[in-house]
Chain A
Amino acid sequence: MLALKVALGLGVWEICGDLHLIAGGALPSPSAILRQWWLDRDVYPKHIAATVVPACIGFLLGNAIAIVAAIAFVLIPALERLMRGFNITVFAIPPIAIGPILVITLPGIWPQITLAAISVYFLTMVMTLLGLRQVDPRPIDVIRSYGGGDLAILRWLRLRSCLPGMLGGLRVAAPAAILGAILAEFGSGARWGLGSFLLGSLGRGDPARIWGIGLAATATAALAYALCALLARRFTASSSIVTLAAGVARDPPRPTGWHRLGNIAVSLGAFAIPFIIWWAILFLSGLSPVIARTPLAVWRYLTEGPDAADTRTVILQALGQSLPWAGIGIALSLAVALGFAITGIIWRGVTAALMPVSLVLQTMPLVALTPIVVLVFGRGITTTLVVTVAVTFFPAFITIAQGLAQVPQPALDLLDVYGAGRLQKLRYVSLPASLAHVCAAARLVAPAALLGVMIAEWLATGYGLGNLLNEARGELDYGMIWAVAFVTIAVSVGFYQLVRLVEFRLLARTT
């Protein structure tokens, strides 16, 4: 039955492609893609290797740091609070924003390695930390009653019980590493790599080749996911679905007896540490200050000198062009995702059908497929919106649907006792319970939305922050590259904090 459907789909696709029925030939037929693959068979291994090798190194590096960090955070809770600013910043960085910086400051394949590592760090760190924290408290008492301290608890209990969460994180991190490596290639001008290949082919406008590369990139990411999933299954009997961590920013327990002053100091430290790390890395790298701009240098670039006012205007203008679309994309994705998730409660078939698709698509390097969207939708605003919604909808849907699935059964049973219908259950239980998850989804997809908008601008529309960054990169305008990256990250972090604030209000009211 499934084979028949697939065959039918391929048949329709073949006819549409051969007859140039869709978007004036932007969708090539499967046979045309296969033909092009065959013609490109000599270069594919080199391109794939050029992406996969740095992705693997970055995956190992980023995850090693993430796991060590998670262990340190669980042993020293104050350290996590101190590093919160750093963690959130790493999470909120739209990869494309710092791609050019990495390319101008790092040699060889290090920009790809670094971006891959940054792409996996937060995911693995959060999932590992959740696993380390969410241990059964009673065995802790058992170990303590034999004089075991924090290290003994870590060794006998936490390390083992965090495995499912950690491996779940690695599974989602694997395709993220591939995507990170591809995105670094977009700005690197490197000869080899799937991203470079894709970018080079976009100029020549050969649909069959662009689709072929897109499918190859997707297959590579899927393979990375499958390998990690296999590994995870060896260690855990449970096959619980682990996705992008929805519970990202649960605050660690506040140390009791801490001084108010101490709290303020930690908060200030958390704010300052991303800047200190930025500064320290540049200082240790010994790069020329012309290329490597410190926080102070970026601030000066934006505020001092005769051109500062012009620079600010240009950046603000670009922000004004990009932000509305990111906002619209987020709002649209959340609204549609919430709609589908709620519909899924009333008609379970909707979630059952959408969830597997979403889980698969979420691991696809969707952003890297922007050239295909350009091919189909042209270089207008539609492309921006399609890319943004494509990268945000699936994680949003998964988060909200999983949140709704976690609504406590006794609450629903209680309504059943009074003969409530599905709509009433929705109104009294599911909807109020889903607010927090909508917020979590918004937090989760905001950096992705900004990334989607900027990629579309960079590759296609020629507006906004993405375009500004691309131009600055082309002209080697180092000041502008740093300034745009800084502003973008600041906006992304700002948005994250804003949603957190709303979330706190909601949670304070409901719990």
Chain B
Amino acid sequence: MNTAAHPVRNDDLSLAGIDRAFNSEGRELQALRGISLTCDPGSFTALIGPSGCGKSTLLKIIAGLDHPDRGSVFIGGVAPLVKCREGALGVAFQDPALLPWRTVRQNIALPLEVLGRRASNQTARIDALIDLVGLAGFEDARPAQLSGGMRQRVAIARTLVTEPSVLLLDEPFAALDQILRRSMNLELQRIWMASRPTTVLVTHGIDEALFLADRIVVMQRNPGRIARILEVPFARPRHPDLFAAAEFHRLQDEVAHSLFVGAAA
């Protein structure tokens, strides 16, 4: 796999004192207050929390799609927008956000075109990515011809096409069923281990977070804040058997506890 051949040049991520408020019908909603977080290069962080705790907003701020009222964000020591223009970020959303008039190959090539890079001499790379996400044979299919899981894989391949040093995933598998989700988790781990980009995953699934991440950041809402950070001790590569392990269940209960106790407080 030639993505693995590239030297690791992954960026660290640092957030300090992030505040973000929204105005809705005159009422001010404190989406995020005092968020500080650092992610080491090549680490995998999961953000988990109830709806409205600001985890998607936080991801958008990291991606430079939204801006904090106060506080600072640095990716590899520079502002997100600088990194955006270098193609250093890969972002995947809950929805695959594919362009319906483009083929799988063309959709994956879109970031390269937006960045003004020549997509034509990257054909081999794009085909390798299609292979990596298990879509060989579907290079020229259009999104309408693919199933939901396949579309999401195209989106994942698209996030990897620029060889990003930071991967931001906003509930990328939320729309998939539980079985498909498991297998996508396995594939994501395989893909991630190939190049180890610094990754932030927003999710609702405790099991997903435990299976994939090095540590789990539990958030609470009103205002959106970090309630707790848990280290996940399992060695990699992680096997599906892990889902049945006693230690896995103990940690699952612990995360659930800090989610619900915090919510009740």
A136 CA to B95 CA, complexed, in Å: 10
Whether the pair A156, B91 counts as a contact (CB closer than 8 A) is no
Most buried by B among A139, A145, A148: A145
Q: A144-B84, A146-B87, A146-B111 are in contact. Are A157 and B64 (CB under 8 A)?
A: no
Q: A139-B99, A157-B99 are in contact. Are A145 and B63 (CB under 8 A)?
A: yes
What A residues does B234 contact at CB under 8 A? none
Q: How many residues of A contact B (CB 8 A)?
A: 16
Whether the pair B162, A138 counts as a contact (CB closer than 8 A) is no
Q: Of B64, B87, B89, B97, which contacts A139 at CB under 8 A?
A: B97
What B residues does A143 contact at CB under 8 A? 110, 114
What B residues does A136 contact at CB under 8 A? 97
A160 at interface, CB cutoff 8 A: yes
Q: A152-B114, A156-B110, A156-B114 are in contact. Are A144 and B97 (CB under 8 A)?
A: no
What A residues does B113 contact at CB under 8 A? 156
Residue of A nearest to B80 (CB): A145
A144 CA to B61 CA, complexed, in Å: 12
Q: Of B64, B95, B99, which contacts A145 at CB under 8 A?
A: B64
What B residues does A161 contact at CB under 8 A? 99, 101
Task: Please list the residues of chain A having a beta carbon within 8 angstroms of any beta carbon in chain B.
Answer: 136, 138-139, 141-148, 152, 156-157, 160-161
What A residues does B243 contact at CB under 8 A? none
Whether the pair A141, B84 counts as a contact (CB closer than 8 A) is no
Whether the pair B87, A141 counts as a contact (CB closer than 8 A) is no
Q: Of A141, A146, A160, which contacts B99 at CB under 8 A?
A: A160
A143 CA to B91 CA, complexed, in Å: 10
Whether the pair A147, B84 counts as a contact (CB closer than 8 A) is yes
Q: Of B65, B95, B101, which contacts A144 at CB under 8 A?
A: B65
Whether the pair A145, B91 counts as a contact (CB closer than 8 A) is yes
Q: Of A138, A148, A157, A160, which contacts B95 at CB under 8 A?
A: A138
Whether the pair A146, B93 counts as a contact (CB closer than 8 A) is no
Whether the pair B114, A148 counts as a contact (CB closer than 8 A) is yes
- Minimum CB–CB distance from B218 to chain A (whole Å) comes to 25
Residue of A nearest to B99 (CB): A139
Residue of A nearest to B93 (CB): A138
A148 CA to B101 CA, complexed, in Å: 19
Whether the pair B110, A147 counts as a contact (CB closer than 8 A) is no
A144 CA to B97 CA, complexed, in Å: 13
Whether the pair B97, A142 counts as a contact (CB closer than 8 A) is yes
- Minimum CB–CB distance from B95 to chain A (whole Å) comes to 5
Residue of A nearest to B94 (CB): A138
B150 at interface, CB cutoff 8 A: no
The contact string, 1 if C-beta is below 8 Å from chain A, for chain B 56-67, is: 000010011100
A144 CA to B63 CA, complexed, in Å: 9
What A residues does B99 contact at CB under 8 A? 139, 156-157, 160-161
Which of chain B's residues 64-107 have a Cβ closer than 8 Å to chain A? 64-65, 81, 84-87, 89-91, 93, 95, 97-99, 101
Q: A146-B162, A147-B81, A147-B84 are in contact. Are A141 and B114 (CB under 8 A)?
A: no
What B residues does A139 contact at CB under 8 A? 97-99
Q: Of B60, B84, B95, B97, which contacts A146 at CB under 8 A?
A: B84
Residue of B nearest to A157 (CB): B99
B115 at interface, CB cutoff 8 A: yes
What B residues does A156 contact at CB under 8 A? 99, 110, 113-114
Residue of A nearest to B117 (CB): A146
What A residues does B86 contact at CB under 8 A? 147
A488 CA to B143 CA, complexed, in Å: 51
A-B contact pairs, 5 of them (CB 8 A): A136-B97, A138-B97, A142-B97, A144-B64, A145-B64
A146 CA to B115 CA, complexed, in Å: 6
What A residues does B60 contact at CB under 8 A? 141
Whether the pair A142, B91 counts as a contact (CB closer than 8 A) is yes
- Minimum CB–CB distance from A140 to chain B (whole Å) comes to 9
